[in-house]
Amino acid sequence: MFRSLAITVRKFAKTPIPAVPPTIGLRTLQPVGVQWKQYANLPHSKPKLPEQRSMDDSNGLPPVIDLEKRRKVLELEIEVMRQEGRKVPSVDTIKPDQWEHLLGLSSRNKRRQYYLYLWNIEMVRLGQKIKKERKQEEIAKRREELMKATAENDHIVYGLFHNTMFLRIYDSKVDHFHNNRLVQAMQFGINLVIDCSYDDYMNDKEMRNTAKQLMLCFALNRSHDEPFNIHHCNANFGKTTMKQLEKHLVQIHQPDFPFNVTERSYTDLFPKERLVYLTPHCKNDLTEFNPDDIYIIGAMVDKSSQEPVSLGKAKKQGLRMARLPLDRYFQFKSGKSLTLDQMVAIMLELKTSNDFGKALQFVPRRKVITVDEAAAKEQEMRQAAKFKINFKKAAGDRWNNSRKPR
């Protein structure tokens, strides 16, 4: 078979190749292996509508490659890498959003790094599953031993797996208890707004970080004795932030779950005169917590850009602005930016005690210069100033001694 294939290739090489018409792309003359390599390395593109495909075909352009075929090529690539002994995940464990990310990667090196990342996640889950099974086996074995030990006794035995006068509190009961607090806060609590309209100013990594911080805000507020009635306004469910938040909080859209999220603006929900936007870029310090005001926190992780976006938005909407009086209490080493969960913790303490000394204890100490560090820095500055004065004095004496009398 190989011999006949080689003969046909030689004959095809001897025959003259006709000129390529302008309607045929150069891709049709490439070998199959080259087509597959370019095919697997194509960047992710959204599938076009049938009308657009027909227009492309009529213009003589090459047809759009189907994403399902690209996915099969990537599955074949994963299988080949597994046979080579590389660390790649199982095809069955890859989720649809992960497939979408894989199809969007433009190079083979990026795909290999993402394969390694998915493999590490799969190994962690497999280890947790094995650990859970071992724990269940140990519990069953221990229960069987206790049953054998107490089978001969006729009296009542108290303890684990036996009779007890205490009721066991499950995690679901604790969740219901905390959710009941949030329901009471929705009815009688103080409102707090988290503005989720900054997705266009963040990259994908920052939006994922924002979703994690929103989840921490929910957990922190729920565990407090007097939680806020938090409203997540200007939510865009097509962006990464809300998609990741839906993964962390699966019950977010259930009607009985105490989580307020809406696509509407806070100006449509509350009167303007009660709204106060908390932004670090303004010059007005927050002196006290007013329960009649509704404070707004911007859901933005601004690691890449420090532009005063929230300040411009508050000015455009004609809202009052305030900032935390951090400079009165601390001297910072680096930036003064705080995470969303730290802001919610500070506002919860202000609502409870209205004491900035207690509330600002949630500011991370790694960003603040302590008293010892300030004293050491002041001592270094004094020594440097003293050395500078002595150096000037010695230089002046040397210059006076070198001057010749007239």
Helix axes 240-248, 204-223, angle to 10 degrees: 40
- What is the distance between the alpha carbons of residues 88 and 2, in angstroms, rounded to a whole number? 34
pLDDT by residue (tens digit) across 295-313? Answer: 999 998 877 667 888 899 9
Q: Does residue 135 have a pLDDT over 70?
A: yes
- What is the distance between the alpha carbons of residues 261 and 248, in angstroms, rounded to a whole number? 14
- Asked whether the beta carbons of 351 and 190 are under 8 A apart, the reply is yes
Q: Quick one: pLDDT at residue 117?
A: 92
Neighbours of 224 (CB within 10 A): 18
Query: Which has the higher per-residue pLDDT, 145 or 164?
Result: 145
Q: By mean pLDDT, which of 1-10, 183-192, 241-250 is the weakest?
A: 1-10
- What is the distance between the alpha carbons of residues 353 and 357, in angstroms, rounded to a whole number? 10
Q: Does residue 32 have a pLDDT over 50?
A: no
pLDDT by residue (tens digit) across 220-255? Answer: 999 999 999 999 999 999 898 999 999 888 888 888
- What is the distance between the alpha carbons of residues 304 and 237, in angstroms, rounded to a whole number? 23
Q: Quick one: pLDDT at residue 55?
A: 41
pLDDT by residue (tens digit) across 51-69? Answer: 444 444 444 444 445 888 8
Of the pLDDT bands very low, low, confident and very high (cuts 50, 70, 90), residue 21 is very low
pTM value?
0.65
- What is the distance between the alpha carbons of residues 337 and 400, in angstroms, rounded to a whole number? 54
The label of the residue with tokens 């206790």 reads 146
Q: What is the mean pLDDT of the chain?
A: 79
- Left, alpha or beta for 323 (phi > 0: left; psi -120 to 50: alpha)? beta
- Asked whether the beta carbons of 279 and 323 are under 8 A apart, the reply is yes
DSSP 293: S
Question: Which amino acid, one-letter code, is at 20?
Answer: V
Q: Does residue 139 have a pLDDT over 70?
A: yes
Q: Quick one: pLDDT at residue 65?
A: 59
pLDDT by residue (tens digit) across 303-362? Answer: 766 788 889 999 999 999 999 988 888 777 766 788 999 999 999 999 999 888 888 888
Q: Does residue 41 have a pLDDT over 60?
A: no
Q: Does residue 399 have a pLDDT over 50?
A: yes
- What is the distance between the alpha carbons of residues 274 and 290, in angstroms, rounded to a whole number? 10
Of the pLDDT bands very low, low, confident and very high (cuts 50, 70, 90), residue 7 is very low
- Asked whether the beta carbons of 356 and 350 are under 8 A apart, the reply is yes
